[in-house]
Amino acid sequence: MLLDEMKAGNVKALIARAADFYGPGAGAKSVIGVLAFDKLIKGKTPQAFINADLAHSYSFTTDSAKALYILSQRDEAFGQTWHMPTASPALTSREFIRLIAKHTNGTKKLQVVPKFMLQIMSLFNPLIKELCEMLYQNEYTYVFDSSKFEKAFNFKPTPYEQGIKETIEWMKKSEVKLL
């Protein structure tokens, strides 16, 4: 409906899409924050859902915030769909979590939670039930292409390793606690 209204000129809008968030502000409230950042900072074993060996894009919150500001200031951005800047190439969840472990001096172990276990847990936990709707992101490659944004606004996404370091620093300073 929004696209139709944008095309008809009835609404001045744009669509901004991002992959799974990590970074300042997301911390332990994002899926990867709960499954890996928070656990590794606390010396626990990180987790991944279903398959840790598929490519999976993550969007750094700071890049997405800057991108939203840029889009809001440019009339030519309206009426279009944009993918927020996301580092490329996408890493596997295992590779991404290994980088977190490297910068937290955490364990190299990884617990992969199978789909059937999540489905059982969803019977008792409404949050897990909601997560189950998004499990396709862990059953297949989940790769974002933000080249349109990068070319249009001469923007280079933060490399994963740098973003991971900044996320860890922010979480430690903020003393982020799980709900």
**pLDDT for position 31:** 92
Per-residue CA distances from 35 to 18, 22, 100, 115, 132 (Å): 19, 11, 11, 15, 15
Domain presence at residue 174: no
Domain presence at residue 132: yes
Contact 14, 83 (CB under 8 A): no
Domain presence at residue 146: yes
The pair phi, psi for residue 82, each rounded to 5°, is -125, 140
Domain presence at residue 177: no
State the Cα–Cα distance between residues 102 and 113, nearest whole angstrom.
22
**pLDDT for position 175:** 67
Per-residue CA distances from 155 to 63, 67, 71, 135, 150 (Å): 9, 9, 12, 30, 5
Which uninterrupted H or E stretch holds 146? none
Domain presence at residue 175: no
CATH code for the domain of 70: 3.40.50.720
- pLDDT tens over the chain, length 179 residues: 888 888 888 899 999 999 999 999 997 789 999 999 999 999 999 999 999 999 999 999 999 999 999 999 999 999 999 999 999 999 999 999 999 999 999 998 999 999 999 999 999 998 888 888 888 899 999 999 999 999 999 999 999 999 999 999 999 988 645 44
DSSP helix, strand, coil percent of the chain (3-state; round to 5): 50, 15, 35
**pLDDT for position 179:** 41
Domain presence at residue 179: no
Structural domain tally of the chain? 1
Q: Domain of residue 105: give its range.
A: 17-167
Residue 125 token pair: 């936990």
Contact 39, 77 (CB under 8 A): no
Domain presence at residue 8: no
Which residues partner with 47 through β-bridges? 111
User: How many CB atoms within 10 Å of residue 44?
Assistant: 14
Domain presence at residue 178: no
